[in-house]
Structure 1
Amino acid sequence: MTSDDLLAALDEDQRAVALALTGPVCVLAGAGTGKTRAITHRIAYGVRTGVYRPTTVLAVTFTARAAGEMRTRLRELGVAGVQARTFHAAALRQLGFFWPKVVGGAPPRILEHKAPAVADAAHRLNLPVDRISVRDLASEIEWAKVSLVTSDDYVRASAAIDRPAPAGFDRQAVARLIAAYEEVKTERGVIDFEDVLLLLAAMLGERRDVAEEVRAQYRHFVVDEYQDVSPLQQHLLDQWLGGREELCVVGDPSQTIYSFTGATPHHLLTFTTAHPGAQVVRLVRDYRSTPQVVSLANNLLAGAERESRIRGTRRTGASAPLELIAQRPAGPPVGFAAYDDDESEAAGIAARIGQLVAAGTRPSEIAVLYRTNAQSEAFEQALASAGVGYLVRGGERFFARREVRDALMLLRGAGRAVDPLTPMPEVVRDVLISSGWSHEPPAARGAARERWESMQALVALADDLATAAEAAGGRASLADLVAELDERASAQHAPTVEGVTLASLHAAKGLEWDAVFLAGMSEGLMPISLAETDGAVAEERRLLYVGITRAREHLELSFARSRNPGGRASRRRTRFLDGLWPGEEGRPGRAGAGAGRAGGGRRGTDVQVPTAARDLTTDADLELYERLRGWRAGVATQTSRPAYTVLVDATLAAIAQLKPGSIAELARINGIGPAKLDKFGPSVLAVVAGGASDATDEH
């Protein structure tokens, strides 16, 4: 690929990023605007034009997956030698290299978990702790360290930002605990992950020879997700730069969702102040999501802007949200649903997922996102009952699974005896069959299916690698696959496992799916009840924005009015959707409004309307709603199936309000697919006709 080809593959704004090869550069990149494409092409263009030597470029990001994706894209662009790593991985590599020279011997062992050392420190201070409080105290220690707050400064620094100490402790106790924790580590001869950055930064600051060697090696820096840098990471970055200006940062203030861990958008928002004359490029063309999804995302942030104007704190410049411009054709309208209880919500979402899978959407392209990890259990049960495979993001790491470790060992062994003429994917299948893999998945769910899905992910990766090699005019070998897996294992960049993803909104950052279900959109969960300040509530809104922008095509938001079946309907949907929830008066816009028609699909102005009886406004609507519920109960009894599998409450409410008079009108209502239209359409229309007649006669 020539340098001209690299530029031709970009849009106008992305091309501006690629051409900004020198000096400080700030890229404000909205969700789905191709920021990774822009910065990898920038690096590749710099190498192709001779401005960069590959080995002098260090690109850092925040997750191993993102770093792995960057390396993969650079390799596809024909650029080898660029270092793309997380902050911790880059720092650990440098610390390990210089430690023998500066300190002598091997570097200290790194604590994988702080909990044992925190518990020891607490016991020394006679602080009463349990498993939960130890976890909370460990998180607070981590916040202090990434914020460059010492035990001596903790009380003042936490009070200055009104940061509460973990429950059950005062700030003085936490300050003493931080000091005791450091003593425990020193006695054990270990360091934690934050120490890796602290020690390297100190080494660079105190040893001129080390700093000169590192700065001679790395001359060009790229920092992705710059809105999430902590003071500690910025301190290390400053040491790497040593006053130089060859820095490109990429970020979006509207996606700042980790401030509780010490991340801050301050450095992104003040970049042009810290680096006068910096080039600023805005990426706003959204290639990920349909206009319906983009419209909802923009309107959500516009709501925050309206509130800012009311408070007299309207944001300007880099702090103002980017307004995305959708580039994809119109898609289905965004769905909105209210359920009676959590169980019904989980079952309803599982049923919708089943419809999407039956219509051709791969399970791995579907996600259910929620605010807290505790919400996952209901969806696990509902999906299992529906026979839909799933994986909980944040569970056991892929490369730590026994079947994956065994498969890697077998593949390494086979590499020494394989026939070089046999296609690599065929060899992989033959090897894994001996380890229990089969061409068809097992019928059973549970551990057997999870084991098969892990090995199937290796098979799929082998196919992808072979296809990529053929496209480049070469041929992938088993050794190439093993090397790819070793690199991915070191970076924890797992291949895709087939199954619906269940994840918290925080864990979903940086990912995307064809279909996303945002569950639990009620006050107390979104925003979370712990968000008591304006800043905390604003971050919760940004978290919802991140969730919305994970969806490419299908997006549905829902909440349950009560926690348990038969419980009091005391919940109300999140304030963030005020003016955006269908059926509300005077809303500034609706999801998908004005999107037009795409490929014969539903009109962009069609949305799933009322959510249940509460949203119906006339006696006639309420009566028809009850008649529909009675009809549904009869069908459920006759077919021996749960009522919600016939039609969910939200769909009945929509029918009661819209009163369709034909199959075509009924088909426009969300929740009624072709199968249900054929099965229930005529009888639903008969109920509607009867309800309308009765209501008319009464009036």
Structure 2
Amino acid sequence: MRDVRTAADSRTDTGLLDGLDPEQRAAATAPRGPVCVLAGAGTGKTRTITHRIAHLVRGGHVAAGQVLAVTFTSRAAGELRSRLRALGVEGAQARTFHAAALRQLRYFWPRVVGGPQWDLIENNKLRLIGQAAHRTGLSTEVEVLRDLAGEIEWAKASLIVPDDYPAAAARRQRDTPEPPTRVAAVYRQYEELKNSARLLDFDDLLLHTIAALEEHRAVAEEFRDRYRCFVVDEYQDVTPLQQRLLDAWLGERDDLTVVGDANQTIYSFGGASPRPLLEFPRRFPEATVIRLERDYRSTPQVVALANSAIGAARGRPAGSRLRLVGQRPDGPPPRFVEFDDEPAEAAATAARIRDLLDAGVAASEIAVLYRVNAQSEAYEQALAEQDIPYLVRGGERFFARTEVRQAMVALRTAASRAEPGELVPAVGAVLGQVGLTEQPPAGGSARERWDALAALRDLADELSRTVPDMDLPGFVAELDQRAAAQHPPTVAGVTLASLHAAKGLEWDAVFLVGLAEGTVPIQRADGDEQAIEEERRLFYVGLTRAREHLTLSWSLSRTAGGRRHRRRSRFLYGLLPENHPASRVARASGSSGPRAKVRCRVCGSSLMATIEIKLGRCEGCPSTVDEELLERLRGWRGARARELKVPVYVVFTDATLMAIAEQRPTDERELVAIAGIGATKLERFGSEVLAMVNSGTPA
């Protein structure tokens, strides 16, 4: 690898590099060629890569129009474009993989395919999958179709064709919604229906672009002459399909900068893998590798907690062992709070948010993060009762709102006859005509409309300060570009979001809620060591979203007055301060927690792996499984899953069934002692399972 200390170019624009720390500067000034930036959460990776692009352009190493930067969300691509423009770089392309492929495919279509361009499936994908499922004799319930769509998307992202799907699913131990051969049949039918209708899905954009570049020499030469320098953000989330497209873009060249953090790999279920990031130095032996570990986002207290959480991970590859170093002043210690039930947890969270608002923290700087979207309802209700404005990330798109569309029409009309003048007063005058008043209304839908218009006004104010000579026509053009990229401005209100949706965002105050076993980590991950570690990384992502205030909470019962049998998340063990009252959770559940040694019931050795703890024995020790009972349990599970219209693992995982058939629990106490069987599973299925174990016949 090149020595990064000698990489700075003598023509560096020192003004551009002011404010970068030594590692950021090394990444920004590294010469053209392969560069790998291992960037921890909050270490300024976006700042670093935009300054790198600006440095290369200003130094004459590459023209702005020859740069293609790709990332994984429209919002992140919009942020890259905004920052590049603020650095004076016009013309560099910053897009998602799919947006870049769509643009290229449209350009090359007449040469590589010919005829009218095929339409892109956007909102009717489930309808096609429903037709395919019906032809295959499977259920067309919406939840089933969504599960099938997820499997098809995973297969295409992993470059797996229908004929190869059953073997690949078995090899990867996929929890498939239907038997793999039937999923493959639906996949095959879906592709036939889609192609006969001359439609493309989002994965097809990448596949067809790859084919155009790999099979048409003239197309590849024209593209590679157009783009000379590539930057990939969030490289830990690349799929095999995206990597193949990147390889097709590069050809034999190596002018590639990648940025990522293997500790934030949270999309393995969709085919993403940190392997290309971790193996980058092996693929490019001359690559410059730089580690960013100075955390400018979070207080040392938040950083220390995040380091402890990810430090407990098992099997971490060397390239992922970044240890963040907090750069901000001290802040309050993270808060750990236990509640009797979920309604109490939601109400207390809303009350604490009210305290923060009263103390001067802006609503837009507060977030409530949860594992699954179904958890949002309780928090929506609790915030509404406190008259606190909120927005659910992943809900209605900003630019689709009626008041925003009306405002953009009015702004466009004003821009067509605008005379030179200051941007902010001009925008304020137009928005005043469509409902933006000096003071916000009391609440409800009127307040939501006002907040949306105020976000447009605030964006104008921001652009007037960061983009020289920004005028009303330029502002309208910026809005059109943001609407196309779904890159909305910040709207006032507390954010409610899933942990996955929170990736790439940050707030002054973060509430991580619902941190109970079966939710964090999610129930279906139990028994799968790799899935558990991905859940840990997702928890880590949530922790690192907080700048200053961080609250972690969980409840012992799902419903008010319910049985308090739930346990706090295993990821919290070792993080709580000593003598914290939440230690009673482990005692109430009859377990001493992960810190206590669990021994094999056969040989007495300490057990460490999740699957071994669940089974109660070492993986190499002889099994005492009752094969007949195991078969009955599997048959019962399949019937219950069909009755409830859920995947079989939602009832019980294979590992849980194996543990039941080996340990043959005779009462509720013994049954709930098996990992993965909590209060909810006990209440719903306990009597049926115990009847099968005790009587030897199905319940």
Q: Determine which of 84, 102, 111 is the counterpart of 2:112.
A: 102
Correspondence list, 1:211-226, <5 A: 211-226=220-235
SS in 2 for 1:553: strand
Match of 1:244 in 2: 253
1:498 partnered with 2:509: no
- Of 563, 568, 571, the match for 2:558: 563
Report the equivalent of 1:511: 505
Indicate whether 1:583 and 2:582 are aligned. no
Question: Normalising to structure 2: TM-score of the pair?
Answer: 0.81
CA distance in 2: counterparts of 1:30 and 1:450, whole angstroms: 35
Asked if 1:291 corresponds to 2:335, the answer is no
Gaps of 5+ in 1: 309-313, 585-608, 618-699
1:544 counterpart SS class: helix
* Residue pair 1:531, 1:537 contacting (<8 A) in 2 also: yes
Alignment-derived partner of residue 461 in structure 2: 463
Deviation at 1:106, TM superposition (A): 3.4
Partner of 2:336: helix, strand, or coil? strand
Specify whether residues 132 and 426 from structure 1 end up closer, same or farther in structure 2 by C-alpha distance, changes over 3 A only.
Answer: same
- Residue 498 of structure 1, CA deviation: 0.2
Q: Residue deviations 1:531-575, cap 9 Å, x none? A: 030000000000000000000011010001111111111111111
Q: For residue 478 of structure 1, report the CA deviation from its aligned partner.
A: 1.2
Shift of 1:516: 0.3
| 2:529 counterpart of 1:534 | yes
Instruction: Please state if 1:233 is matched with 2:228.
Output: no
Quote the residue 1:25 is aligned against. 35
Distance in 2 between residues matched to 1:322 and 1:612, nearest whole Å? 30
Alpha-carbon distance, 1:316 to partner = 4.5
Residue number among 485, 498, 515 corresponding to 1:521 in the alignment = 515
Structure 1 residues 105 and 182, CA gap change in structure 2 (3 angstroms) = same
Quote the Cα distance in structure 2 between the aligned partners of 1:409 and 1:434: 12
Q: TM-score scaled by structure 1?
A: 0.81
Distance 1:85 1:468 in 2: 21
Deviates more, 1:561-570 or 1:490-499: 561-570
**Closer, same or farther: CA 52–58 of 1 in aligned 2, 3 Å:** same
Of residues 440, 446, 449, the one that matches 2:447 is: 449
Which residue number corresponds to residue 79 of structure 1? 89
2:288 to 276, 279, 289: 279
- Aligned pairs (5 A) from 1:680-699: none
* CA deviation after TM superposition for structure 1 residue 613, in Å: 7.4
Instruction: Determine if contact 1:18/1:45 at 8 Å carries over to the other structure.
Output: yes
Q: Which residue of 2 aligns with 1:139?
A: 150
**CA deviation profile, 1:556-610 (whole Å, cap 9, x unmatched):** 10001111111111111111111111235xxxxxxxxxxxxxxxxxxxxxxxx43
C-alpha contact 2:67 2:230 (8 A) present in aligned 1: yes
- For residues 338-487 of structure 1, the aligned pairs below 5 Å read 338-421=338-421, 423-445=422-444, 447-469=445-467, 472=468, 474=469, 476-487=470-481
Q: 1:525 to 1:453 in 2, by over 3 A?
A: same
CA contact (8 A) 1:367 1:503 kept: yes
Can you list the C-alpha shifts for 1:113-161, whole angstroms capped at 9, x where unaligned? 3201100111112222201101111111111101000001101111111
Looking at structure 2, the residues matched to 430 and 216 of structure 1 have their Cα atoms a distance apart, in angstroms, of 46
C-alpha displacement of 1:209: 0.2
Using the alignment, how far apart are the partners of 2:179 and 2:130 within structure 1? Answer: 17
Structure 2 SS opposite 1:562: coil
1:230, distance to aligned residue in structure 2 (A) = 0.3
Tell me the amino acid that sits aligned with residue 465 of structure 2.
T
RMSD after superposition: 1.6
In structure 2, distance between residues paired with 1:9 and 1:148: 43
Given that residues 345 and 555 in structure 2 are in contact (C-alpha distance below 8 angstroms), is that contact kept between their aligned partners in structure 1? yes
Hey, what's the Cα distance between the residues in 2 that align with 1:78 and 1:160?
49
Partners of 1:64 and 1:36 in 2: CA distance? 14
- Decide whether the 8 Å contact of 1:343 with 1:564 is kept in 2: yes
**What is the CA–CA distance in structure 2 between the aligned matches of 1:228 and 1:525, rounded to whole Å?**
23
Give 1:333 shift: 0.8
**What CA distance in whole angstroms lies between the structure 1 residues aligned with 2:46 and 2:482?**
18
Post-superposition shift, 1:409?
0.5
**Other structure's SS at 2:577 match:** coil
Structure 2 Cα separation of the partners of residues 560 and 21 of structure 1: 53
Alignment match, 1:675: none
1:515–1:553: 8 Å Cα contact kept in structure 2?
yes
Distance 1:86 1:536 in 2: 27
Deviation per residue, 1:135-191 (Å, 9 max, x gap): 11111111110100000110111111111211xx10000111111001110121111
Structure 2 match to 1:148: 159
Equivalent residue of 1:245, what SS? coil
Checking the alignment, whether the CA contact within 8 Å between 1:339 and 1:612 is kept in structure 2 is no
Deviation string 1:257-282 (CA, Å, 9 cap, x unpaired) is 00111111111111112222211110
Residue 554 (structure 1) aligned with residue 565 (structure 2):
no
Displacement after TM superposition at 1:430 (Å): 2.2
Distance 1:2 1:477, change over 3 A: farther
AA aligned opposite 1:556: T
Matched residues, number = 576
Residue 263 (str. 1) matches residue 272 (str. 2): yes
- Name the amino acid aligned to 1:195: D
Q: Deviations over 1:81-117 (max 9, x none)?
A: 1111110111100000010222223320000032011
Contact 2:506 2:546 in 1 (8 A): yes
1:342 shift after superposition:
0.5
Is the partner of 1:438 in helix, strand or coil?
coil
Which ranges of 4 or more aligned residues in structure 1 deviate by more than 3 Å? 417-421, 611-617
Say which of 596, 601, 610 aligns to 2:581: 610
Residues 78 and 121 of structure 1, relative CA distance in 2, 3 Å threshold: same
CA distance in 2, matches of 1:321, 1:505: 22
Gaps of 5+ in 2: 1-10, 589-699
Cα distance between partner residues in 2 of 1:248 and 1:98: 26
Summarize the Cα distance change of 1:8–1:427 in structure 2 as closer, same or farther, 3 Å threshold: closer
Cα separation, partners in 2 of 1:65 and 1:614, compared to 1, 3 Å? closer
- Alpha-carbon separation, structure 1, partners of 2:584 and 2:41: 36
Is residue 515–residue 569 contact of structure 2 (8 Å, CA) maintained in 1? Answer: yes
Alignment-mate amino acid for residue 336 of structure 2 = F
The yes-or-no answer on 1:123 pairing with 2:134 is yes
Distance across 2 between alignment mates of 1:148 and 1:12: 40
CA deviation after TM superposition for structure 1 residue 17, in Å: 0.3
Residues of 1 paired with 2:47 and 2:67: CA distance? Answer: 16
Alpha-carbon distance between aligned partners in 2 of 1:539 and 1:285, rounded to the nearest angstrom: 24
The DSSP-based 3-state class of the residue aligned with 1:221 is strand
**Number of the residue aligned with 1:620:** none
How far apart are the structure 2 equivalents of 1:245 and 1:365? Answer: 40
* 2:567/2:586 contact within 8 Å kept: no
- In the aligned structure 2, how far is the partner of 1:194 from the partner of 1:613? 49
Matched with 1:317 is 318
* Distance of 2:81 and 2:116 partners within structure 1: 29
Change (3 A) 1:55 1:136: same
**Post-superposition shift, 1:321?**
2.1
Is residue 218 of structure 2 the alignment partner of residue 209 of structure 1?
yes
